[in-house]
Amino acid sequence: MKPTLFSHISGVRREWLLLAIISVIVLAVGARAPVFLTWRNALDIGNDSAILAILVMGQMLVLLTRGIDLSVASNLALTGMLCALAGRTWADIPLPLLIAMACGIGAGLGFVNGWLIMRFNLPAIVVTLGTMAAYRGAVFVSSGGAWVSDQDIHPLIKGLPRETLLGLPMLIWIAAIVVALALYLLRWRREGRELYAFGGSPTAAVYAGIPVLDRLVMAYTLSGLLAGLAGLLWVGRYSIAFSELASGYELTVVAACVIGGVSIGGGVGSIGGAVLGVLFIGVINGALPVIQVSPFWQQAIAGAVILISVVLNARADRGHGRQILERPQSPAPSNTATQGAAA
pLDDT at residue 6 greater than cutoff 50:
no
User: Is the alpha carbon torsion for 16, 22, 26, 32 positive or negative?
Assistant: positive
- Nearest Cα neighbor of 88 from 160, 156, 161 is 156
Q: Which amino acid is at 8?
A: H
Q: What is the extent of the structural domain holding 224?
A: 5-317
| Cα 238–chain centre separation | 21
Q: Is residue 80 part of a domain?
A: yes
Q: Is residue 151 part of a domain?
A: yes
pLDDT at residue 335 greater than cutoff 60:
no
Note whether 291 and 224 are within 8 A (CB): no
> What does the pLDDT average to over 145-166?
88
> What does the pLDDT average to over 162-188?
92
Average pLDDT, the chain: 84
User: Confidence class of residue 12 from pLDDT cuts 50, 70 and 90?
Assistant: low
Q: Is residue 230 part of a domain?
A: yes
Q: Is residue 202 part of a domain?
A: yes
Note whether 183 and 299 are within 8 A (CB): no
CA trace torsion 18, 20, 21, 23 (10° rounding) = 120
User: Confidence class of residue 318 from pLDDT cuts 50, 70 and 90?
Assistant: low
pLDDT at 75: 96
Q: Give me the residues paired with residue 148 across strands.
A: 241
- CA atoms of 19 and 17, how far apart (whole Å): 5
pLDDT at 185: 94
pLDDT at residue 228 greater than cutoff 90:
yes
Supply the CATH number for residue 263's domain: 1.10.3470
User: Confidence class of residue 10 from pLDDT cuts 50, 70 and 90?
Assistant: low
Q: Is residue 343 part of a domain?
A: no
How many distinct structural domains can be found in the chain? 1
pTM comes to: 0.86
User: Confidence class of residue 38 from pLDDT cuts 50, 70 and 90?
Assistant: confident
Model confidence pLDDT, tens digit, residues 60-80: 999 999 999 999 999 999 999
pLDDT at 51: 95
- CA atoms of 149 and 171, how far apart (whole Å): 21
User: Is the alpha carbon torsion for 186, 191, 193, 197 positive or negative?
Assistant: negative
pLDDT at residue 42 greater than cutoff 60:
yes
Q: Is residue 14 part of a domain?
A: yes
- CA atoms of 282 and 13, how far apart (whole Å): 21
> Which of 166-180, 234-248, 304-318 is predicted with the least confidence, judged by mean pLDDT?
304-318
pLDDT at 265: 83
pLDDT at 251: 87
Q: Is residue 329 part of a domain?
A: no
> What does the pLDDT average to over 164-187?
93
User: Confidence class of residue 315 from pLDDT cuts 50, 70 and 90?
Assistant: low
- CA atoms of 172 and 187, how far apart (whole Å): 22
- CA atoms of 312 and 259, how far apart (whole Å): 9
Q: Is residue 325 part of a domain?
A: no
Burial of 226 (0-12, 13-18, 19+ CB in 10 A): buried
DSSP assignment of 266-303, as one string? SS---HHHHHHHHHHHHHHHHHHHHTT--HHHHHHHHH
Number of residues in the chain = 343
